[in-house]
Chain A
Amino acid sequence: MIMEAVNVTYGYPGTTSPALYELSLSIPEGKKIALLGHNGCGKSTFFLQSIGIIQPEQGKIKWKGNPLSYKTKELKVLRQNVGLVFQDPEQQLILGTPMDDISYGLRNARVPEDEIKKRTEKILCQLGLMDLANIPLHQLSLGQKKRVSLAGVMVLEPKLLLLDEPTAYLDRMSEKQLLEELDRINHLGTTVLMATHDMNVAYEWSDWVIVMDQGKCIMEGTPVDVFSRGKEIEEIGLETPYLYQIWQALPATLKKGEVPPRTVSAFKEWVGDMQIV
């Protein structure tokens, strides 16, 4: 486990109900994880907890088995290891152009200037942002800003990448590009955790799913395991993915106990095989 929350309770000052209530969850290392839940279920609060911006009132956050100490020096190391991409890119973009902004985190980490230049250019190329490198940030579209903020975090090569609703408000094309990029980062060894309420994306993309409700973790498991508990999912007001619903609607004689397909193309392939039979 790369990160764990153990019985974490936290409430924002001036609110009556806690944002997190005895939250316990663990993030397995090296996987692509989807964190599901409603708006206001505590996902974003958990993210702020995980990089030590706010401290739990009760319970512990553990990084690689060790509880966080909240000492300035250790927090600095933690924040180099855990990258957080906010839902609203405006929250984390500060300098004038993508080129300057992406280098910001590296400069904070006291990386030498020539290496900063090299790494910034590399990430700009990887994310296809080279054409935008010197355009003022406020002239970029939302999708472009999201990619710049992702680049600014990725350039630090974190061990754990946390993304808060990265696909919200993105068109399908930008969403696809983003997911492909996340796959690539994951292949290079980074654990990627994405908070979302798009069940279809979670089902197709992730290989581990965590479900939160009212500040608690209520389910953890593989996508098929979690969505097979359809009733519980619906009880908290979430939906099972379309593809899974279609699969469920098929007669059992057709399915023959096979593992449900997770992508449309896999489903099509399965249907194709059926016709041959």
Chain B
Amino acid sequence: MKFTMDTLIYNNGLRHISPLWRSGFAAVLLLLSILSHPIVQVAIFTWMMIWTLWYARIPWKPYFLLLGTSLLFFIMSLPALLFEVEHTLQPGRDSLFSFHLFQWTFYVTQTGLTLAYSLFFRSLSSLSCLFFILFTIPFLEVLQVMKKLRLPQIMIELSLVMYRFIFLLIDTAFGMLVAQQARGGHGSFSQKMRDSALLLGHLFAHTMQRYKGLTHGLISRGLSEEILLPPMENKGISLRFQIESVVGCCLLLLFEGWVRVG
């Protein structure tokens, strides 16, 4: 998944546009989607989807797969949002629907339903803004934006090293898993647990070794105090995208104002 995603990101249709502008654009819309009403949030979601799927030419399959996976977290929190539990249902509760289980009464309130409903649209529109960044800005450019925003160097370096290691880790873990399976491991459940524990232990030792190697490698290449990133390339923004973004944001603001007044 991660591997194919990286290929998509490096070949997306918006790469020629300044990453700083794209991050700013997504940030503005994210702010708007947090503060606005559900109907405006739907508009933001649709608009961001057009940018990501159409302008950036990201295939819909990985996009919706990721969206679905992220919404799973929302679904997991649904029972807690919707249901309230009481020993005996007090009269005067705004229960829409209730049922008994043992001596407990479970019921759904209007407030809970409204909360779940507004949270759903808020997460949907916020996710679409996040995905716009995720799918159109390669990681190194994200780091360059972080640097431009004067985030602490340690944060940038940690992200860089984590990004570099995640693939090595997946690679190593997968290699070890296959090796264990090839030698008859992961048979029964208890064996699976034992082999997984073994794998994790080795993985840790292996990672420490790799970490040491990378440190030597970087020192030999002249690392002094900080990891220097290539400077951000000067990329423009086409007039067409500038107009669309400004007009679109204004329309969304007007729409939100109209919803609030009306």
Choose among A86, A103, A108, A135 the residue that contacts B222 (Cβ–Cβ < 8 A).
A108
Chain A neighbourhood of B161, CB < 8 A: 94
The listed residue (A86, A93, A96) touching B138 by CB distance below 8 A is A96
Interface string of A118-148 (1 = CB under 8 A from B): 0000000000000000111011000000000
Question: Is A207 located at the chain interface by the 8 A CB criterion?
Answer: no
A136 contact set on B, CB distance < 8 A: 6-7, 10, 138
Q: Count contacts on B: residues with CB < 8 A to the other chain.
A: 31
What is the distance, in angstroms, from B55's C-beta to the closest C-beta of chain A? Answer: 20
Given contacts A79-B220, A108-B222, contact A94 B214 (CB under 8 A): yes
Would A88 and B213 be within 8 Å (CB), given that A108-B228, A152-B221 are in contact? Answer: yes
Task: Report A-chain residues with C-beta under 8 Å of the C-beta of B217.
Answer: 86, 91-94
Is A38 among interface residues, defined by CB-CB distance under 8 A?
Answer: no
Question: Is A76 part of the contact surface with B, judged by Cβ < 8 Å?
Answer: yes
Complex Cα spacing A217 to B138, Å? 48
A27 at the interface (CB under 8 A from B): no
Given that A92-B217, A138-B3 are contacting pairs, would A79 and B140 also be in contact in the complex, using a CB cutoff of 8 Å? no
Residues of A within 8 A of B222 (CB): 76, 79-80, 105, 108-109, 156
Question: Could you tell me the distance in whole angstroms from the C-beta of A109 to the nearest C-beta in chain B?
Answer: 6
Q: Is the CB of B168 within 8 A of A90?
A: yes
Interface assignment of A170: CB less than 8 Å from any CB of chain B: no
Within 8 A of A (CB), among B42-65: none
Residue of A nearest to B160 (CB): A94
How many interface residues does chain A have, given as a range? Answer: 20 to 34
> Is B216's CB under 8 angstroms from A94's CB?
no
* Cα of A96 to Cα of B161 in the assembled complex, Å: 11
When the two chains form the complex, which single residue of B167, B220, B223, B230 contacts A103, counting CB atoms closer than 8 Å?
Answer: B230
Q: Is the CB of B221 within 8 A of A48?
A: no
Q: Which residues of A contact B260 (CB under 8 A)?
A: none
Interface of B is mostly: helix
Q: Which residue of B lies closest to A96 (CB)?
A: B140
Contact with A along B115-131 (1 / 0, CB 8 A): 00000000000000000
Complex Cα distance, B63 from A136, in Å, reads: 20
Contacts between the two chains (Cβ within 8 Å), count:
84
Contact with A along B171-187 (1 / 0, CB 8 A): 10000000000000000
Q: B171 to chain A: which residues have CB within 8 Å?
A: 138
Measured CA separation A51–B216 after assembly (Å) = 10
Considering only residues 203-262 of chain B, those with a C-beta below 8 Å from chain A are: 210, 213-214, 216-224, 227-231
Given contacts A92-B220, A108-B223, contact A134 B10 (CB under 8 A): yes
B140 touching A84, Cβ below 8 Å? no
B contact residues around A55 at 8 Å (CB): none
* Residue pair A107, B218 in contact (C-beta under 8 Å): no
Contacts of B220 in A (CB 8 A): 51, 53, 79, 83-84, 86, 92
**What 0/1 readout, one digit per residue, does chain A (69-83) give for beta carbons within 8 Å of chain B?**
000000010011001
Which B residue sits closest to A80, measured CB to CB? B222
Nearest residue, chain A, Cβ from B231:
A113
- A108, B3: Cβ atoms closer than 8 Å: no
How far apart are B141's CB and chain A's nearest CB, in angstroms?
A: 9
In the complex, the answer to whether B224 meets A104 with C-beta atoms within 8 Å is: no
Chain B residues with Cβ below 8 Å from A76 are 222, 224
Is B164 in contact with chain A by the CB < 8 A criterion? Answer: yes
| B139 CB–A CB distance under 8 Å | yes
Q: How far is the CA of A90 from the CA of B165 in the complex (A)?
A: 9
Q: Which residues of B contact A88 (CB under 8 A)?
A: 213
- For B229, list chain A residues within 8 Å (CB): 95
* Chain A: minimal CB distance from B16 (Å): 13
Neighbouring B residues of A51 by C-beta, 8 Å: 219-220
Neighbour of A91 across the interface among B7, B214, B223, CB < 8 A: B214
Q: Which residues of A contact B (CB under 8 A)?
A: 48, 51, 53, 76, 79-80, 83-84, 86, 88, 90-97, 100, 103-105, 107-109, 113, 134-136, 138-139, 152-153, 156
